Structures are given as structure tokens and as C-alpha cells.
Amino acid sequence: MKIGIIGLGLMGGSMALALRNKGLATQLVGTDNNALHAAQALERGLVDQVVPLEDLMALVDVVVLATPVDVALPLAQTLLDQTQGHILLDMGSTKANLVSAIQNHPKRGRWVATHPMWGTENSGPLAAVQGAFQGKACVICDRENTAPDALTWVENLYQNLGMHLMYMKADEHDMHVAYISHISHITSFALANTVLGKEREEEAIFELASGGFESTVRLAKSDPNMWVPIFLQNKENLLDVLNEHISQLRKFKACLEKENKEYLQELIQHANGIRRILG
Amino acid sequence: MKIGIIGLGLMGGSMALALRNKGLATQLVGTDNNALHAAQALERGLVDQVVPLEDLMALVDVVVLATPVDVALPLAQTLLDQTQGHILLDMGSTKANLVSAIQNHPKRGRWVATHPMWGTENSGPLAAVQGAFQGKACVICDRENTAPDALTWVENLYQNLGMHLMYMKADEHDMHVAYISHISHITSFALANTVLGKEREEEAIFELASGGFESTVRLAKSDPNMWVPIFLQNKENLLDVLNEHISQLRKFKACLEKENKEYLQELIQHANGIRRILG
């Protein structure tokens, strides 16, 4: 199979490495609207060649869309317009807007809406990681709208990369990722801004920062070009979670103000229940 | 030197391992008001013997106080009452209440108020870690109130463990740790409670949780018996940081509500500045 990848950053680049490592592509062709990223991807050998977007479809059997989700939205429709039986998939972190944008397209069946649940706070082709997807979950949304051959090929692809598949409606997916991914990024960004406000006064305090601090603010390094469109596309779900999170923080605030030791103990014991999930 | 350790949990246990590993104690004597912890510490060989608290001072030259900070407060005064030239130090995460409680004690000079900046989300003797303090910062507070021989001995101790020393007033320390440690714990606890509320509805969503989620909620596993007293002792500083953090979260909320892409981009770019600190 000749495979094209649009967007050679963290996700697209890691997909390229995985496809090559597993011998799943006879040829890898990439495209990226950032000339530096395109050159870096070639130099790292992520893809065999880089071509302009308009030349890609003619050269490949499968197209993997790995751009930020705002770019993916119009591109998905263009790709469907041009497809001659390709298998088309995207790797975006929001799914409802995408499946809604393509739902009435006559070639809708060629599209597989996927979200491999892996990422880091880094971006660009140099951030791509070998073995990235191994052992993680991959969500496939609205599979009933995808042609059986395209669905089967993409299922096999992700299983070959060591992922276990989960199936959801796109709306359900977007609500879930608001809870277990998007809110974590918001809190990290906000926490970074909280402490960076203080940094102006006294730089030395950060010598004190140990593992706990790094852990909670690591995601604050993440790329705005990736995350702004995700947050805006998942706005409604994210606002629900954010409101709930602020109300949870206010409980801690009230406990401190009233020195309510018992309730503070209770809140923390409840939070300890996260061990059930994280192990 | 014969060294006594009061509290054989994460901090005291890790200190015992470090002292033994560096050959800094001819004998290690422990005490713990939790009988199971005392037995586990003996079984792991963290200490050579466990004795009742009231017998400890007669057996050792140095006492390391490694209990939760609420227990440390009255204990510090008892230990100073009983000391016959011992070197006494505590490892607590809050310092202002402690130094204030002992400031007028006639034997105040025997006390060294320290905070080695290391920890994990685990607790108890089984959570103690070899090499825990290596490469981290250790804060020594209000050193001018400590006798030179006691100060020098403790400075050498931490340097032998591979720590670099920082000196601060206790008030200054407490304000700084509110920003770079305590607030991270509050946000993790609150985030865990936010998502655990959802878990009741749909357990499956947590199969989706990947590294980013784990990173931001890891600290939510932390022990309430350690953290409730820290939060209450550092209440004023923590309320300042918590108010600031909630106001930072509200900025993200307003951006989402108004779909203000430019300001959202700006907030995230500002948060990216955390790379200056975390590297």
C-alpha cells in the first residue's frame, strides 16, 4: 500500500514511523504546509517524498489526515471530492464536527473517523516517536457510516500498531475526551499561567519545583496551534467540565477559609479513588 | 552518629535508606505511632530498632522529625524540652508555624528547620525510595536561629545526600511552596473529583485515559493525613494562589464562551513559557 500523510507533526510523524516499522507501507508520501516541517520530515526519513497537497491523491492508496482539527474540517471534504476509491482517515482529537461536515457527502463511506489516544506535549516532526501507539486505545467513530473495506483496513492498521479498538458515536467521543484529555490541558495551561505570574517577582522559587509540579504543568508546553481548534470545536463539553472543575476547586477554597478539616479530608479521600483508574 | 527518626513513612523511610546508603549513621533507631508502619520499617531494614517515642532521645545523638506537620508542631516543643545537646531537625512541608512555635524556646538553637524538596504520591514505609533526595533542593529556614554546630552538621548531611541548599525565611518558604507544590496537589485532587463524578455514569471512558491525564491527576493519590495539615497550616498563601488559579481558569472559560480564538491563543502561548522553567 502507498500511504499519504497530510501533516508531518507529532501525530503524522509518529504514524509514519509506525507504518515503516511494521512494514505496512510500500511507499510513504507526505505533505505539510510548513516548509521547515516538510524538510525536517524528509531529513528524518519519516516519509520517502514530500509533495504538494494537490499532487498527493494521485500517488497513494490511503490518505492519513493528521493536521490540526480546524484545518482537517475543510480538507476532509476536499479529499472526499477527489477520492477515486482511496481509504481516507483522520487522527483528530475532536470528532463530532468532522463527521457532521462530511455526513451527506456521496463518498462518505471512504472516510474512517479515528482518534488514537496517544500524544505528548511536544510538536513537529522532530517530536515524532517510534512505538508511539503501542498498548493504547484507538477510538473509531460512527463506523456504520464507513464502507466495510475501508473500515476493515483501518481496524487492521491500528491493531497492527498494537492498539485496542473502541467504537463510539462521535458526540459520545467528544464528551469523553473533554473529561480525560481536554480538561487536563486547560488546567495545566491555567496552572502555568498562575505560577508564571509569580515568576516575574521571584525567579528563584522555581529551583524548588520538584516532580509533582512538573507532572501537573507538563502539558502546558503543548502547542496552541493544535489545542485552540480542539478547545473551540469541543466548546460545549469542555465548558461543562470546566464549570464542574471550578466548582470542585471552590470546595477546597471553602474548606480552607472555614478550616473545615473533616470535609477537606473527605474531599481528598474521594480524590484518592483515582487509584481505581490509574492503578 | 546514632540517629533517631520519628515517623517511618515516605520521608522518614527514604531518609533512613539514604543515611544507611551513605554510611552516615552508626545506628538507626525509629519510632512510629502506627504499629503496622513500625513493623514494616523493621522488616524492610529501614531502621535497626523501633522504640517508643519516650525512649528515643536517650538512645541517639540526632533526631529527624518526619511526621505530618500537625503532629510535628507539638512534638518539636517536647523534643526541645528534653534535649541534652541533640541535633534536632524536621523535614516538614510548612515551616512558618513550626519556627514560630519554637522561637522562644531556650534551646531553640538545637533545631534546624529543613524542607528537602522531594516526594511522591505514595506513603508509608513501603513507599520509601533509595536515592530519593539526590540532585534536589533542600531549603533551610531561619538558619540564624540555629546553633552553628547543629547547622553545619545538617548542611553536611543534606550535601552528602546530593542535595543543594537554599536558605530562606520560613514565611518566604511557605509562600513559595504554595506556588510550586501545594497548589499542584489541590488542582490534582479537584481534577480527580471532577472526573470521578463522571465515572459513576460511564466507567468505560477511563480506558481512553492516556499519559496526559495520568500526569495531571497523579498527585491526587496523595495521602490526606499528610496533606490536610499542610493545607491548613499554609492556608493564607494557598488561598491567594487558589484565587489566582480560579481566575486563570475563568479566562479560559470566557474565551470558550465567546469563541475568542485570539485570546485563547495568547493564554496558551503565555503558558508555554513554562518551558523556561521545566526545560
8 Å CB contact of A253 and B246: yes
> Least CA distance to B214: which residue of chain A?
A278
Same domain, A234 and A98: no
User: Comparing C-alpha atoms, which of B207, B5, B177 is closest to residue B89?
Assistant: B5
8 Å CB contact of A271 and B193: yes
Same domain, A103 and A206: no
Taking the Cβ of residue B205 and every Cβ of chain A, the question of whether any pair is shorter than 8 Å is answered with yes
- Are B193 and A225 contacting, i.e. CB atoms less than 8 angstroms apart? no
Range of the domain at B256: 173-278
Taking the Cβ of residue A254 and every Cβ of chain B, the question of whether any pair is shorter than 8 Å is answered with no
Residue B199 has pLDDT above 90, yes or no: no
Give B60→chain A minimum CA distance, Å.
Answer: 31
Same domain, B127 and B26: yes
pTM of the model: 0.93
Q: Which residues of B22-47 are buried (b: 16+ CB within 10 A; e: fewer)?
A: eebbeebbbbbeeeebbebbbeeebb
* Residue pLDDT, tens place only, B55-83: 999 999 999 999 999 999 999 999 999 99
Same domain, B112 and B223: no
Strands across the sheet containing A137-141: A49-50, A27-31, A2-6, A62-65, A87-90, A111-116, A137-141, A164-168
* Residue pLDDT, tens place only, B210-246: 778 888 999 999 999 999 999 999 999 999 999 999 9
Same domain, B179 and B162: no
Taking the Cβ of residue A133 and every Cβ of chain B, the question of whether any pair is shorter than 8 Å is answered with no
Question: Distance from CA of residue A64 to its chain's centroid?
Answer: 14
CA dist A209 and B164 (Å) reads 13
Residue A133 has pLDDT above 80, yes or no: yes
- Are A68 and A76 contacting, i.e. CB atoms less than 8 angstroms apart? no
Same domain, B153 and B83: yes
Same domain, B152 and B204: no
Among B169, B193, B209, where does a domain finish? B169
Query: Which positions 163-182 of B are in contact with A (Cβ < 8 Å)?
Result: 166, 176-177, 179-181
CA dist B113 and B67 (Å) reads 13
Confidence of residue A207 (pLDDT cuts 50, 70, 90): confident
8 Å CB contact of B192 and A221: no
Q: What is the CATH number of the domain that holds A234?
A: 1.10.3660.10
Same domain, B186 and B70: no
Query: Which positions 35-64 of A are in contact with B (Cβ < 8 Å)?
Result: none
* Residue pLDDT, tens place only, A41-88: 999 999 999 999 999 999 999 999 999 999 999 999 999 999 999 999
Among B138, B169, B200, where does a domain finish? B169
* Residue pLDDT, tens place only, A238-272: 999 999 999 999 999 999 999 999 999 999 999 99
Give A184→chain B minimum CA distance, Å.
Answer: 6
In this structure, of A193-207, B179-193, B221-235, the range with the lowest mean pLDDT score is A193-207
> Least CA distance to A249: which residue of chain B?
B190
- Are B86 and B4 contacting, i.e. CB atoms less than 8 angstroms apart? no
Same domain, A178 and A151: no
Phi-psi region of A110 (alpha: psi -120 to 50; beta: other; left: phi over 0): alpha
CA dist B119 and B9 (Å) reads 11
* Between B35 and A210, the higher pLDDT residue: B35
Confidence of residue A198 (pLDDT cuts 50, 70, 90): confident
> Least CA distance to B269: which residue of chain A?
A224
> Least CA distance to B237: which residue of chain A?
A256
Instruction: Give the E-state strand segments of chain A in sequence order.
Output: 2-6, 27-31, 49-50, 62-65, 87-90, 111-116, 137-141, 164-168
Whether ipTM tops 0.90, in short, is yes
Same domain, A180 and A127: no
* Chain position carrying cell 500511504: A3
**Total of domains in chain B:** 2
Q: What is the CATH number of the domain that holds A116?
A: 3.40.50.720
DSSP for B162-220 reads TPEEEEE-HHHHHHHHIIIIIHHHHHHHHHHHHHHHHHTT-GGGGGG--HHHHHHHGGG
Same domain, B185 and B158: no
Same domain, A16 and A128: yes
Give B134→chain A minimum CA distance, Å.
Answer: 12
Among B143, B169, B195, where does a domain finish? B169
In B, which residues are within 8 Å of A187 by CB distance?
187, 191, 216, 249
Confidence of residue B202 (pLDDT cuts 50, 70, 90): low
Task: Determine the residue type at A192.
Answer: A
